[in-house]
């Protein structure tokens, strides 16, 4: 990546980033087209490759940028609640979603892109994002390791509940983005409803 990318006006940086997040998130690495990215960003392909030498270079930059940005917001947002000592499982998840909302207001497709790199099958793309995926997973693990799972009903295994929540929220986001109706605030409201509902049937 050409470091002069960060010398561009912030509006142009974000336009290029958001366009790339959207196209990669919707299509995956292999099927994402740089033609679609430059069209979405309203820039020339020459400009894109001036700052990012290749499609893989752009993808690598995005993964690093997104994970660093998300970790910063999550760590700040979640640790700010109740002196960073919240232990209720579903309240912790609420704090996580609230922190993500702040990110999505500037980068609406960032979480969808992160979801997509976690589900990527292309070996080349997987190899350049391993460190980022591991770092983000470690942050989530550290936060959720504080959660008190003693209130879960015996039949409501916490690991399975967590997987169900991740799949549900990821599916909701993907569906709304594909339909072209995604709005961060509306998604956050829906996420809250699902977390309340799942919590009400999982706790004693």
Query: What residues contact residue 190 under an 8 Å CB cut-off, 6+ apart?
Result: 172
> pTM for the full model?
0.92
Alpha-carbon gap, residue 178 to 43, rounded angstroms: 23
Alpha-carbon gap, residue 191 to 24, rounded angstroms: 23
- Per-residue pLDDT of the chain (204 residues), as tens digits, is 778 899 999 999 999 999 999 999 999 999 999 999 999 999 999 999 999 999 999 999 999 999 999 999 998 888 654 456 789 999 999 999 999 999 999 999 999 999 999 999 999 999 999 999 999 999 999 999 989 998 899 888 889 999 999 999 999 999 999 999 999 999 999 999 999 999 999 887
Alpha-carbon gap, residue 195 to 51, rounded angstroms: 41
DSSP character for 156? S
Closest to 116 measured CA to CA, from 18, 29, 19: 29
């Amino acid at each position: 990546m050409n470091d002069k990318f960060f010398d561009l006006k912030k509006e142009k940086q974000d336009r290029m980033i958001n366009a790339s997040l959207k196209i990669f998130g919707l299509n995956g690495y292999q099927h994402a087209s740089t033609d679609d990215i430059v069209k979405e960003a309203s820039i020339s392909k020459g400009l894109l490759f001036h700052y990012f030498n290749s499609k893989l270079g752009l993808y690598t930059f995005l993964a690093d940028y997104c994970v660093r940005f998300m970790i910063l917001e999550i760590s700040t947002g979640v640790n700010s609640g109740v002196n960073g000592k919240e232990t209720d499982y579903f309240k912790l998840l609420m704090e996580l979603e609230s922190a993500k909302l702040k990110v999505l207001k500037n980068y609406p497709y960032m979480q969808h892109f992160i979801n997509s790199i976690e589900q990527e099958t292309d070996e080349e793309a997987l190899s350049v994002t391993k460190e980022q995926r591991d770092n983000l997973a470690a942050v989530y693990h550290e936060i959720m390791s504080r959660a008190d799972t003693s209130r879960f009903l015996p039949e409501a295994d916490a690991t399975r509940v967590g997987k169900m929540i991740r799949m549900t929220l990821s599916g909701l986001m993907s569906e709304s983005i594909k339909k072209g109706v995604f709005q961060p605030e509306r998604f956050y409201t829906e996420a809250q409803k699902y977390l309340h509902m799942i919590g009400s049937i999982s706790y004693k």
